[in-house]
Amino acid sequence: MSNLSSPANADLHPAPGPNPATASGPQHPFLVIPAGGRGLRMGGGLPKQFRDWNGRPLLQVTVEAFLSEGMPTLAGIVLAVPPSHLEEVQSWSFGVPCTVVPGGETRQQSVQAALLTLPHLPLAPVMIHDAVRPFPPAVPLWEALEALNRYDGVLLGEPSTDTLKRVDAHGLVLRTEPREEFFRAQTPQIARLGTWLEAFRSAEAAGFSGTDDVALLERLGLSVKLIPSPSSNLKLTTPEDWDRLQSH
């Protein structure tokens, strides 16, 4: 684990101000970004989260998007990165308490490692976000945090605009599905720290690997609310994604 020593990267307790777990007002969320992957689909040998985006690594741009005007105030940030990039990321300063930890072999392991560094504030909201999704939308994010008062977990999702066909193993169409019931999962995905820790520990014990974070909540039968989010909250996965957006 690598705790940063600069004022911007001190202990994750917010300072100064009320403790987010005991304040009478809304609790400030923590931001966790698993960025330990190799990003092979982007090509070029450099993990996509560290590729240059207008003069800065994409991961840095993604974090700074959460610090822009209109976004919720963060209690702290935890970034899980490849060991080869620890020193680089430790040099970044965001003006918000930040901790950097080595990422695991999988995204799920990276998230769990990050969660375990947070202070013992079981009721604190924790937003888990993709490192290469640099355009988080403010309004749906506020809606998601508010919804956490009524649900165990919340995620952002893009409504499906395509006709969806269910097929069998041979590619034969079985039926057309009602597209209004389908959404493309996005991030952030949000739950309180205690809920996340329970879900990740249970999944680890059972050898369960989810395709996203809230799948671990669903596995436990917890209630998960989806908040519609625009397609602009996209994930940069391929060179085509990168080239298309940088050309605008």
98: helix, strand or coil: strand
- Predicted model pTM: 0.85
Q: Could you tell me the CA-to-CA distances from 96 to 64, 84, 92, 190 in Å, in that order?
A: 10, 23, 11, 19
For residue 15, give both structure tokens: 């300072």
Average pLDDT over residues 215-242: 90
Chain centroid to Cα 30, Å, comes to 10
Average pLDDT over residues 118-134: 96
Partners of residue 156 on adjacent β-strands: 227
- What is the CATH code for 2-246? 3.90.550.10
Given this model, what pLDDT does residue 245 score? Answer: 65
Average pLDDT over the chain reads 86
Q: Does the bond joining 188 to the residue before it have cis omega, within 30 degrees of 0? A: yes
Q: What is the pLDDT of residues 69-95, one digit of tens each?
A: 999 999 999 999 999 999 999 999 999
pLDDT of 149 > 90? The answer is yes
Contacts of residue 179, defined as CB under 8 A and 6 or more positions apart, other chains included, come to: 160, 161, 162, 163, 164
Whether the Cβ atoms of residue 121 and residue 21 lie closer than 8 Å to each other: yes
Whether the Cβ atoms of residue 188 and residue 128 lie closer than 8 Å to each other: yes
Backbone region of residue 34 per phi and psi (left: phi > 0; alpha: psi in -120 to 50; beta: other values): beta
Task: Identify the residue with better confidence: 175 or 38.
Answer: 175
| Percentage, residues of the chain above pLDDT 90 | 74
Q: What band does 45 get if pLDDT is binned at 50, 70 and 90? A: low
Alpha helix (H) ranges present in the chain? 58-65, 86-90, 107-115, 138-147, 193-206, 214-219, 239-246
Whether the Cβ atoms of residue 32 and residue 111 lie closer than 8 Å to each other: yes
48: helix, strand or coil: helix
Whether the Cβ atoms of residue 66 and residue 134 lie closer than 8 Å to each other: no
Question: Which amino acid is located at 44 in the chain?
Answer: G
The residue written with tokens 């079981």 in the block is: 122
Given this model, what pLDDT does residue 27 score? Answer: 83
End-to-end CA distance of the chain: 39
pLDDT of 246 > 90? The answer is no
List the beta strands (DSSP E) in 35-124: 52-53, 56-57, 76-81, 98-102
pLDDT of 11 > 80? The answer is no
Neighbours of 112 (CB within 10 A): 22
Domain ranges of the chain: 2-246
Q: What band does 241 get if pLDDT is binned at 50, 70 and 90? A: low
150: helix, strand or coil: coil
